[in-house]
Amino acid sequence: MGVNRLKLLADHYGFSFPEDLALSFDVLKRVKPLEPLKGLVEALDVHLVGPFEVLAGRFDKISPLNEMLLHWRFRTDPPELFTIAVRGEDEMHWGYWLKNPKPLDTTNHPKEGTIIAGGSPHVRTFPQPVDESFLGVVRLLLEVDYARIKELESLGIMMEPDRDQLGKLSRLRDLIGRYAGNHSSWISKATGEDWLLGRTAPFRPLRKKVIHPPTLFTVALSEMDQHLINNKPNKALQIVHFLWPKMNPKREKEIWPRLREIYQMTNQPILGKICQMTVQYPQRAWLDIAEKD
């Protein structure tokens, strides 16, 4: 009897991912059936990681050496971001933004409010929403590169490597489009810049604006503590989000315990567990928790 990988995924992470994950994998694994995690590497240098690795069977017979919640978690990632894809060149990565993941039956996936956010560990900014599905992110990456190379072609300065890359992008786009069927991210017939210009629907920001934000870190901590004393964890969380781009290892030691308290107060045990592990392993150097040091 085969492995139920959706159940295995929920067992490893402690919750079920949005249905979009399995739908996206069903399409992308057809690009390179024997190496499903590498289907986007040749054209986009993007590797499928995290929960995709469980669906691909990597963890069928091996157990994680550490908590799966740490798998492909960059140091600059807030607890809400669960990485599913990483670009090799600059470690730009994308993942599901889950405000309150809870243990669910594998047949009862959360279906509403799916957001894919992206961030880079080399630029300390708060992750930004990119699309409402992972296939939408793939389409966006394809069209950005496609438009860039077509512009070189129109200027008469396209080199042979660019021509090869254009061929890879076109083949991948056509192949995924063939398997995507009625997926909303592939219904549009527009390509290149025409398609990009159509992606104008604004996303709701992942963080609210902080009214009169503190200018000093110590003042911000004091205000955060006051919100926690007054049982206003959401107000305290706003300050955390405001401070996130200004974090460094010294400041992280002050923030993570408070962030864990916020999640305890708001009954978000999985996010709280991530905070606990981050404090426990403050100098963690791994991303792939299945590899030995």
- pLDDT for residue 202: 59
Instruction: Determine the average pLDDT of the residues in 191-220.
Output: 61
Q: Would you state the pLDDT for residue 282?
A: 63
Whether residue 31 is predicted with pLDDT greater than 80 in this model: the reply is yes
- pLDDT band with cut points at 50, 70 and 90 for residue 285: low
pLDDT higher than threshold 50 for residue 293: no
Which stretches of 160-284 are DSSP H helices?
A: 160-180, 184-187, 192-197, 217-229, 233-243, 249-265, 269-280
Task: Quickly state the pLDDT bin for 214 (edges 50, 70, 90).
Answer: very low
Q: Write down the mean pLDDT value for the chain.
A: 84
Is the pLDDT at 291 greater than 70, yes or no?
no
Crossing angle for the helix pair 249-265 and 217-229, nearest 10 degrees?
A: 10
pLDDT for the residue numbered 289: 76
pTM above 0.75, yes or no: yes
Q: Give domain limits for the chain.
A: 5-132, 137-197, 217-280
Q: Is the pLDDT of residue 198 over 90?
A: no
State what percent of residues in the chain have pLDDT above 70.
Answer: 84
Select the more confidently predicted residue: 1 or 204: 204
CA 245 to CA 127: how far, in whole Å? Answer: 10
Q: Which two tokens stand for residue 151?
A: 């512009």
Show Cβ contacts of residue 230 under 8 Å, excluding neighbours closer than 6 positions: none
What is the mean pLDDT of the segment spanning 236-255? 85
How many whole angstroms separate alpha carbon 51 and alpha carbon 210?
A: 33
pLDDT at position 190, please? Answer: 58
Q: How far apart are CA 145 and CA 173, in angstroms?
A: 11
Q: Give the pLDDT score at 269.
A: 92
- Span 74-105, pLDDT tens digits: 888 999 999 999 998 789 999 999 988 876 65
